[in-house]
Amino acid sequence: MTTANITDRAGAIALVAQAKETLSDVKNMLADGGYTGEPFAASIKEILGATVQIVKRNELHTFVVLPQRWVVERSFGWLEKCRRLWKNCERKLNTSLQMVVLAFLSLVLKRF
């Protein structure tokens, strides 16, 4: 989370710079239309060495399934089934992160 005077692009660049070691294996980053622009792509390329692929909708008011974006939307849909994640009531950020990890782990275990 950032303050209102920081744009999404600037916040994403700061996040990537902070988590550079963790994200070292990332080769391609998918982003929506809000991250369009050469300065953002150049910053990500400089920090991670990854390319940025913008996934945009072609038509404005029609529903079309975009294959790359569908993976993210489906994952958020799965997480919404976990009631504890509906509202963040945790005091520490690490606890919230662990709840998301546990939610995905329970989803994986249900498939077996």
- Which DSSP string corresponds to 48-112? H--EEEE---SSSSS----HHHHHHHHHHHHHTT-GGGSS---SSHHHHHHHHHHHHHHHHHHT-
Reading the block at residue 63, the tokens are 């529903």
pLDDT for 79 equals 81
Q: What is the pLDDT of residues 43-69, one digit of tens each?
A: 999 999 999 988 776 666 676 777 777
Q: Which domain holds residue 26?
A: 1-56
Q: Rg of the chain over CA atoms, in angstroms?
A: 16
Q: What is the pLDDT of residues 67-106, one digit of tens each?
A: 777 777 787 788 877 877 777 777 887 888 888 888 888 8
Going by the DSSP 8-state scheme, the letter that residue 5 receives in this structure is: T
Both 49 and 66 in a single domain?
no
Both 27 and 69 in a single domain?
no
Both 111 and 88 in a single domain?
yes
Q: Give the chain's domain count.
A: 2
Full-model pTM:
0.61
Both 13 and 38 in a single domain?
yes
Both 66 and 109 in a single domain?
yes
